[in-house]
Chain A
Amino acid sequence: MASATAASAGSLRASRYETDTARAAVAGVVLIVAAWLLFFVIDPGTVQNWLGYAQRSDARVPAFFVRFVLLLAVIVSAFMLVTSTGYYKRNRIRLAPWMFVSIGLIFFAIYVILPIFQSFSYSFTRWDGLRDINGVWTGEWVGFQNYQRLLEDPNFYTSLWNNLLWLVLYMLAVPVGLGIALFLNQTVTGIRIYKSLFFFPFVISQVVVGLIFTWAYNPEFGLVGEIWGWFFCEETTNILGNPTTVCSVDPPNILGDPNVATYGIIAAGLWPQIAYCMILYLTGLNNVSPDQIEAGRLDGARGWKMLRHVILPQLAPATFLAVVVTVIGALRSFDMIATMTQGGPFGSTNVLAYYMYDQAVGEGVGRYGYGSAIAVVLFAIMLVYISYFLWRMWQDEREAR
């Protein structure tokens, strides 16, 4: 290949940076036709006519695929067009990254970055989420009214308080995860199977974890009721001769009691989160340098001292990551609440994430403005952690250079 390049370099040099007109023309035509079809011709109505669907809504999915293929055609032909120009060829190194990053960036911008700003603007409006027949927005601007209402809403304060509880108690996952990781960091036979079985809860969806714990917390049929029975209940026969259980103290109905329901959900949420932190620490422990441990041992460090002064500093990246994912997990707690209590009893288990959903679409009436205001508050809390994370990353990047 090298010799071929060298041989043809002289003849290529002239043509190499020139625009490939034929290719550019074909790509340009394809681009224009595909873009025209995409933006002005294709909608479910058209597809319905072509394919003979009975209803417009049935034609939505096929219409999607037609659009998707056209979108691909637009992207590919746009790339062909750009890469065949002399300008691109001369500035290859400068332009190529933009080509590579463009598709992902456009999708990400449309679905993630722009919506953040849109939510901010929604939060200053009153809107039920509907548009009129021409697609015109039907809401109205109300300034800071949503935020004022938020300050007077007791449910908002409950949610905020519960979010704080989640944040604080969820952090238990980090030390407990470390504890289990230390416990499992051995080389006895079969330890790998133990490790993966301990990690198991993380793989199960939060919905299923929620269902499992709803059942476990059930005072009549569940695990809690059963274990309670060992200590406080006894089997007797009542007057009619049927066996019954009599309890000196009734088993707690954890999810039915507004004072403890949140703690019950958090405990359930901790289960997979501990598993996650454990696996982070197990990997971290794998990478701890044996030399330093040996040196520590020679210096007489053992047990707690060793952990505190030799091991933990080396586990700092794992700890950082564990804290980050735990914070994010705590603030994202939605699935569990939706499956276990739906915010009840009496709104006592609401967190911002669930309350927002409930206000915006949950009750059948869309309160997009109010919901967005709640989302903005949640985002502001998260932003503290995101900024910290990015700042740490930036530090690392600077060091790496």
Chain B
Amino acid sequence: MFPRPIEKASPVSQFAYKAALPLALFVWLLPLLAIFLTSIRPALDIATGNMFGLPSQFVMFENYGQVLAQPNALRYMINTLIITVPTVILSVALACLTGYALAVYRFRWALPLFFVFVAGNFVPFQILMLPVVDLSVRLEMMNTIPGLVIFHAAFQTGFCTLFMRNFIKALPFELIEAARIEGVDEFKIFWHLVLPLVKPAIAALSVLIFTFIWNDFFWATVMLQDDANLPITVGVRTLNGEFVQQWQLISAASLLAALPPVIMFFAMQKHFIAGLTLGATKG
């Protein structure tokens, strides 16, 4: 293990290390802590300049309640959810199929096709933006949530395929070979043999894509205009526009917007990190 385990060091440096840990964490998360403190203080504190001391009153529920009581706040949250969940399902499902095809079959186009997915996944959004907008307008899907979902699902298929293909490639190929010799239909091999084996990959991808899509801002700004359709990342700006100078509400709204992916991360931490690293360390 590198660096040398601290248990082998002198008691003094052990103590220093254990003291440095929370201190470093405090500095690292200082912006977040400060904004959290602001979000639980009464307006009075901010008026009198008590921005960083202890809140004179604990009004967390009042502040967050006030944000949620805004006419559109819940709407934005729900919109984000109905954009995010179908996107995750669609893109992961598609990627299972494409990843399987590109990992298991040794056909000449396997690698070029795989590279097309990988390369497409890295292009800047701006080069896709105008044609995608034009296409959505022509399909009469502009400014609708399904229109955005279909685009997201198609785009995320690139990353998901990269991930799935590498995951399936690492499975023992002999299993599939044996099933083929038995004469099992290709689709049945996929459904009954491979799918159960890639469950961890599906979990990791779902958590990751959920976070990506939840946090998406660019495509929602581009593809949605009606206030009733906006997700929270875009809506939070509208909300903040209404809370002029009410910093306690602005911070509460910002933290609320960030909350679901955070919960997702802490609940599914192992999958999340596996997703972030495995999907690409292999690449």
Contact = CB atoms under 8 A, between A and B. Distances in A.
Given A196-B269, A208-B257, A332-B124, A112 B154 contact: yes
Interface string B115-138: 111111011111111111111011
Interface in B1-25: 1-3, 5-7, 17-18, 21, 24-25
A116 B146 contact: no
Contact of A112 (B95, B120, B187, B265): B120
Interface in B161-185: 161, 182-183
B74 to A, nearest CB: 18
B29 A197 contact: yes
A93 B189 CA distance: 12
Nearest to B278: A283
B76 interface: no
Contact of B119 (A64, A353, A386): A386
A124 interface: no
B125 A101 contact: no
Contacts of B254: 208, 211-212
B7 A187 contact: yes
A92 interface: yes
B167 to A, nearest CB: 14
Interface stretch (A29-37, A148-156, A165-173, A355-363): A355-363
A223 B38 CA distance: 11
Interface string A227-255: 00000000000000000000000000000
B236 interface: yes
B124 A204 contact: no
Given A119-B130, A129-B134, A293-B1, A204 B261 contact: yes
B98 A105 contact: yes
A64 B113 CA distance: 29
B157 interface: yes
A397 B103 CA distance: 12
Give the contact-size bracket for chain A.
35 or more
Interface in A176-222: 182-183, 185-188, 191, 194, 196-201, 203-208, 211-213, 215-216, 221-222
A40 interface: no
A25 interface: no
Interface residues of B, number: 109
> Which secondary structure dominates where chain A touches chain B?
helix
A284 B2 CA distance: 11
A226 B105 contact: no
B261 A378 contact: no
A306 B234 CA distance: 47
Contact of B262 (A200, A212, A394): A200
A203 B141 contact: no
A188 B153 contact: no
Contacts of B119: 386, 390
Given A311-B2, A360-B129, A382 B105 contact: no
Q: 9 smallest A-B Cβ distances: which pairs?
A: A205-B215, A100-B101, A115-B131, A111-B154, A104-B98, A118-B131, A97-B105, A101-B101, A107-B154
Given A188-B7, A375-B130, A382-B124, 19 more contacts: A61-B144, A64-B144, A94-B107, A97-B107, A104-B161, A107-B154, A110-B154, A115-B127, A115-B128, A116-B127, A197-B25, A203-B264, A335-B217, A338-B221, A360-B130, A371-B129, A371-B130, A389-B122, A394-B115
